[in-house]
């Protein structure tokens, strides 16, 4: 019997992205640059996160004209963002043939209590998380891929590092626990027990885990890979840099060879300026995107 | 028996695990020097455009053509099958061009059309769990290539001598029969 949209097919799609870089793009031209530089997928957006931050107001699903333009421009997978809890935006993106949906805190949440029931969809979802409990809640709702939230649009890696380190430390702790301790830990983390049990047995998340939210340089990408990321999302970091094509290529190479420091040095030379960053303490707590999601 | 998995991008860990379970010693390959010690190689699933760019950059194109021409077996899954093919629909150029097959990329559609199905694969089994993800298929095979599996009249597994190509992802299952089949090929060509 033929089955579409199974958990294996949805998670498998994310497995194929491992070791790769997923790049934010706002038009066909940027999508082609990303593809030519070796991106494994592109995220079609109306604005990159740093511009969303600057524009303020309510950020919604992208103009569908842009999504369609990007779908037609490249042969690699195309992702797009829906607001947290906005299952109609997600259904619309699914109907257009988008390959992966990011239920994203970069957009203004549409529901302040619930995320989308992602199990109902044929298209797979990626969601942001800051710790193991949040990651397992999203997976419990049907997410097929997790990424750190970091702090989007800042070009500042510190939050992504914190989220990845937190998640990895919690995974190690759960793995080392005795079975007796798991239920209490599930309660502490706010995580579904069965998924926590899987983490205990395997010592890893049940789905692929990418880094996102602040990656701006090749060295940032390599750092996140060494901390345990399966791959990297780069949002504003590429097309807000001085030389997007070179930056894109360099970040792809540094993600593949993340322990080869001579190679990272070589690809990082003469890149020009990365995007201008923002110190996290300069962002009011209410304006921090990572606080969105529950 | 030592088998490498090209580890530039894609589902590398899954192939390593399956090869070990099937009885081989499996190692990731990121540099051309690492090809020297190998008896065979797997080109994993991933994004063929990404993997191909990195292969060009690090000298894998010539190194792998030599590897193949020296009679060492290569198994390409999904993106790996595209890398092996001599012809790609809609493109003038190919990647390695080692195997006499013509492939079409993303031929079953986008991700929402991706599927799994139990199907027969000749020499492997009557009930193989095949996972197709934005999968290509093989439009034609050359006269020396053998068709091992078809799905809805489309060729999805083919073998030409010491080259094996599958449109689906054996590495995403718990079933090691495809990997064992490949290891038998490696034994055959090693002697």
Q: pLDDT tens digit string along A240-251?
A: 999 999 999 999
- How near does any CA of chain A get to the CA of B86, in Å? 19
pLDDT tens readout for residues B94-129:
999 999 999 999 999 999 999 999 999 999 999 999
Residue B80: closest C-alpha in chain A: A16
Residue A6 maps to a domain:
no
CB contact under 8 A, A38 and B49: yes
Q: Within chain A, which residues score under 50 in pLDDT? A: none
Higher pLDDT, B63 or A1: B63
Catalytic residue among A10, A81, A118, A149: A81
CB contact under 8 A, A9 and B49: no
Judge contact between B46 and B169, C-beta under 8 A: no
pLDDT tens readout for residues B19-36:
999 999 999 999 999 999
Using CB atoms, pick whichever of B30, B57, B111 lies closest to residue A100. B111
Total CB pairs under 8 A between chain A and B: 112
Q: Round the average pLDDT of chain A to a whole number and report it.
A: 96
**Residue A107, Cα to own-chain centre: how many angstroms?**
13
A270 is in an annotated binding site: no
Q: Could you tell me the CATH number of the domain that includes residue A66?
A: 3.20.20.70
CB contact under 8 A, A13 and B12: no
Dihedral Cα A117, A120, A122, A126, nearest 10 deg: 20
- How near does any CA of chain A get to the CA of B190, in Å? 30
pLDDT tens readout for residues A202-253:
999 999 999 999 999 999 999 999 999 999 999 898 999 999 999 999 999 9
Residue B191 has pLDDT above 80, yes or no: no
Contacts with A256 from chain B: Cβ below 8 Å: 8-9, 30, 54
Q: What percentage of chain B has pLDDT greater than the value 90?
A: 99
Q: Kindly give the pairing relationship between strand A78-83 and strand A232-234.
A: unpaired
Phi first, then psi: give them for residue A78, nearest 5 degrees: -115, 130
Residue A220 maps to a domain:
yes
Place B166 in a pLDDT band, splitting at 50, 70 and 90.
very high
**A218-226 and A158-176 are packed helices; what angle lies between their axes, rounded to 10 degrees?**
10
Contacts with A14 from chain B: Cβ below 8 Å: none
CB contact under 8 A, A97 and B131: no
For the residues of A74-124, what is the DSSP string, one character each?
A: -SS-EEEEEETT-HHHHHHHHHTT-SEEEEETTSPPS-SS----GGG-SS-
pLDDT of res. B156:
98
Residue A61 maps to a domain:
yes
Residue A233 maps to a domain:
yes
**Residue A113, Cα to own-chain centre: how many angstroms?**
21
Judge contact between A124 and A145, C-beta under 8 A: yes
Residue B41 has pLDDT above 80, yes or no: yes
Contacts with A2 from chain B: Cβ below 8 Å: 115-117
**Is B23 in a helix, a strand, or coil?**
coil
CB atoms within 10 A of CB A63: 14
**B2-190 architecture in CATH?**
3-Layer(aba) Sandwich (3.40)
Judge contact between A235 and A212, C-beta under 8 A: yes
Domain count, chain A: 1
Q: Round the average pLDDT of chain B to a whole number and report it.
A: 97
- CA–CA distance, A64 with A59 (Å, rounded to integer): 14
Catalytic residue among B14, B104, B160, B171: B171
Distances in Å between the Cα of B182 and the Cα atoms of A53, A72, A129, B5, B96 are 52, 37, 39, 13, 19
Residue A75: closest C-alpha in chain B: B106
Catalytic residue among B15, B95, B169, B179: B169
- Could you list the residue range(s) of the whole structural domain that residue A232 is in? 20-170+206-287
Residue A192 maps to a domain:
no
Mean pLDDT on B55-60: 97
Respond yes or no: is residue A81 known to be catalytic.
yes
Q: Which ranges constitute the DSSP H helices of chain B?
A: 12-21, 48-57, 60-69, 79-84, 177-190
Judge contact between A209 and A12, C-beta under 8 A: no
Residue A255 maps to a domain:
yes
Distances in Å between the Cα of B68 and the Cα atoms of B57, B73, B157, B161 are 19, 7, 19, 11
Respond yes or no: is residue B94 known to be catalytic.
no
Residue A7 maps to a domain:
no
């Amino acid at each position: 019997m033929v089955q579409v949209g199974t958990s294996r097919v949805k998670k498998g799609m994310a497995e194929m992205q491992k070791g790769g870089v997923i790049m934010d793009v706002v038009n066909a031209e940027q999508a082609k640059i990303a593809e030519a530089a070796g991106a494994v997928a592109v995220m079609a957006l109306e604005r990159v996160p740093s511009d969303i931050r600057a524009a303020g107001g309510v950020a919604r699903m992208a103009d569908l004209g842009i999504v369609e333009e990007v779908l037609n421009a490249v042969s690699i997978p195309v992702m797009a963002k829906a607001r947290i809890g906005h299952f109609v935006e997600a259904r619309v993106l699914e109907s257009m043939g988008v390959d992966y949906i990011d239920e994203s805190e970069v957009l203004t949440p549409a529901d302040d209590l619930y995320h989308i029931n992602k199990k109902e969809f044929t298209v797979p979802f990626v969601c942001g998380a800051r710790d193991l409990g949040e990651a397992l809640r999203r997976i419990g709702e049907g997410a097929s891929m997790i990424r750190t939230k970091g702090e989007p649009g800042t070009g500042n890696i510190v939050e992504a590092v914190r989220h990845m380190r937190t998640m990895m430390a919690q995974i190690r702790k759960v793995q080392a626990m005795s079975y007796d301790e798991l239920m209490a830990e599930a309660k502490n983390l706010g995580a579904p027990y069965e998924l926590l049990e899987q983490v205990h047995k395997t010592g890893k998340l049940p789905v692929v885990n990418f880094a996102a939210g602040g990656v701006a340089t090749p060295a940032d990408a390599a750092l996140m890979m060494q901390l345990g990321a399966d791959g990297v999302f780069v949002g504003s970091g590429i097309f807000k840099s001085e030389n997007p094509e070179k930056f894109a290529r360099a970040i792809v190479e540094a993600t593949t060879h993340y322990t080869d420091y001579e190679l990272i040095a070589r690809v990082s030379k003469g890149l020009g300026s990365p995007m201008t960053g923002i110190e996290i303490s300069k962002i009011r707590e209410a304006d921090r995107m990572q606080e969105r999601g529950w | 028996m030592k088998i490498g998995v090209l580890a530039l991008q894609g589902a590398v860990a899954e192939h390593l695990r399956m090869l070990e379970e099937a009885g081989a010693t499996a190692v990731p390959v990121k540099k051309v020097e690492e090809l020297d010690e190998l008896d065979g190689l797997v080109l994993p699933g991933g994004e063929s455009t990404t993997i191909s760019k990195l292969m060009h950059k690090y000298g894998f194109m010539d190194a792998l053509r030599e590897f193949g021409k020296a009679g060492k077996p290569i198994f390409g899954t999904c993106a790996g099958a595209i890398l092996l093919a001599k012809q790609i629909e809609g493109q003038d150029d190919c990647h390695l061009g080692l195997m006499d097959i013509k492939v079409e990329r993303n031929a079953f559609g986008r991700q929402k059309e991706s599927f799994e199905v139990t199907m027969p694969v000749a020499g492997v089994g009557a009930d193989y769990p095949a996972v197709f993800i934005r999968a290509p298929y093989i439009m034609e095979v050359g006269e020396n290539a053998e068709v091992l599996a078809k799905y809805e009249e489309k060729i999805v597994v083919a073998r030409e001598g010491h080259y094996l190509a599958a449109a689906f992802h054996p590495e995403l299952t718990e079933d090691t029969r495809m990997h064992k089949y490949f290891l038998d090929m490696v034994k055959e060509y090693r002697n």
